[in-house]
Structure 1
């Protein structure tokens, strides 16, 4: 494992690898990646922040390191001969491209994907007339939103050049524009909300 500096990280990693996606599907590991995407932390610091025992954190750190999702950034000898290691995420943000994954892995991300699609539908309802997606068509809208996010993230695969939240905002803004621009596909999915005033 080579040491990774803050400036060596990429802004966004679009995850298409099944084994990496399986690692990210665990909510605890997603939280660790979120924390480690902001700054380097030790096992002890993560343990306090997350509320898991150091051995449990160590287990997750090992899996994430082997999956090339995090890397050691530095080591220092501490008291009693204990070597402290700082870990950092290899990217500022991880976006899972579910199209490249088998169905058994995709299902772990479906709740997140549906929430994103609902947010897009809500934004579209503000942009246009009041609209609401039908339940049976949410899967199609979810698929379109996921594709748009992955496509927008492609241009941020290089080195980190901007604030991570700004980059994520730009990705989601572009995805919203791309999703909204597929009018012919979205129109059948979006039904007007009928409001009756008594």
Structure 2
């Protein structure tokens, strides 16, 4: 190998350890005009104005497949962003992940238009929590508001009542610590606790 000026070019750097191991690619998209790329809708080649047409998404699925991807995940969100300005007005005005379509409606058509890629969508939280508990035997779940504080309010208003109705949400007993409610193993760790990954010495 020689450089453009005729001098010998240095050998190519060796591939990093494990670089030859095959890996998978998964595309990440959301059925909304603006997902994580504000302003790109103005690009001359953008066709996002067609986002409400099924052909837009079947074409995207074929592009993803032709690009060597193994899967396409379509994100979703419950409700609108309502922190900035104390309401949804800024979200609607700026088109911040709004409007958004239901990916479960489009996926069957996208699957029919492709041959080998897989699709992922968000699913009913209540059934997923119940399935995970049944399959793993976990004692509970740590629920956090990853994007919006209002998500916890919606969880408490929509998900918890449904779990209670099914009889799968264990209610905490008043006057007991979290440790007692979860495991019944006493209100606190012993003063001289020596666990595998955590130790205390009184």
Alignment TM class, shorter chain as reference: under 0.3
Q: Which has the larger radius of gyration?
A: 2
Query: 1 or 2 for the larger relative contact order (CA 8 Å, sep ≥6)?
Result: 1
Point out the structure with the larger helix share.
Answer: 1
TM-score relative to the length of structure 1:
0.22
Higher relative strand content: 1
